[in-house]
Structure 1
């Protein structure tokens, strides 16, 4: 998918920083108070919020709530974020059965606070074509043990992670992942083990 402006990159990076800082901060008022008696394990797990139960995807389906960790989804929801789901595109190539998710507070005034994650199955031929298309547009290819990373050129990227990477795809055997930064790819966990 092509984006109308480089501003999306800045939005994504600023959002990533905000989410990471917010997720790491702990409200001291939420810590349990010490007790004099031994605490036994709860007899049943805490219930999930009722508004997410009816719309929970099947375990085998990639969805915006399942391709990233439950804790991350919970953190996003706790600050009022929701997601917009769209087909997975690499440039103009739509990857069938893929999913792209933008998490943000869509009710807030327009701003630059959002996160982007995606996952799709991909054939070897489509993977080669997509990688070739991206690198012909100036994206950078890096091979690693986990697969092939294709990332925005740092000279033209507006927002980057701590290692200098902007929007990045990870091509693995039979799949492709996407995040607003290379570091953000660590949160894409699909298929579930």
Structure 2
């Protein structure tokens, strides 16, 4: 099992542990008292307000882009993130962020890569053409269009054999060092 897979598993286990720790142990299950009829809601002449969608308060960061459990697992392992230039072919993605997580206290090329950016339709087309010209493999899915590097040249692959993978959606693009790693990117812009 690779360190990448271990980190993903550790992040998932941490989330499960946090969720189960919220349950109160040993409390008896309470059943509601029997009633003859359910109470009827009071009518009101007041209109019901519809909540207005809000935009995220914080700007995208290496820590806000991926799940909190993943950040906790990576930092617990002594890893930190460094932003990198996010370029696909000749398309520079300036409305997002690319982060390389690693233990920078030791000399190693081992780490994890996560990126997210807004992208115009024209830039997405140019970027995808550059990836195809570079030998990347295209695969359409319900989430969007995937471009994965040839596994023969990959530094590492996930359990399904996918190495570094881009996912192009409607107005955005994600990047992770494996296709499975894309699920850890939660930023929606």
TM-score category of the 2 structures, normalised to the smaller one: 0.7 to 0.9
Partner of 2:97: 99
The question of whether the paired residues in 1 share the 8 Å contact of 2:115 and 2:174 is answered with yes
Larger gyration radius, structure 1 or structure 2: 2
1:70 aligns with 2:53: no
Partner of 2:183: 186
Cα deviation per residue 1:14-64 (whole Å; 9 max; x = unaligned)? 4412313544678xxxx98xx9975xxxxxxxxxxxxxxxxxxx7342111
Quote the Cα distance in structure 2 between the aligned partners of 1:83 and 1:36: 37
1:16 aligns with 2:16: no
Unaligned stretches of 5+ residues in structure 2: 15-19, 28-55
Which of residues 64, 75, 80 in structure 2 aligns to 1:82? 80
Quote the Cα distance in structure 2 between the aligned partners of 1:73 and 1:88: 20
Quote the Cα distance in structure 2 between the aligned partners of 1:126 and 1:120: 11
Q: Would you say how many aligned residue pairs link Structure 1 and Structure 2?
A: 156
Unaligned stretches of 5+ residues in structure 1: 1-12, 39-57
Partner of 1:120: 117
Assess, with a 3 A threshold, how the Cα gap between structure 1 residues 112 and 122 changes in structure 2: closer, same or farther: same
TM-score, structure 1 normalization = 0.71
Provide the alpha-carbon RMSD of the alignment.
2.7
Partner of 2:59: 61
Which of residues 132, 136, 140 in structure 2 aligns to 1:139? 136
Partner of 1:159: 156
Report the CA distance between 1:159 and its aligned residue.
1.3
The question of whether the paired residues in 1 share the 8 Å contact of 2:148 and 2:162 is answered with yes
Quote the Cα distance in structure 1 between the aligned partners of 2:109 and 2:127: 27
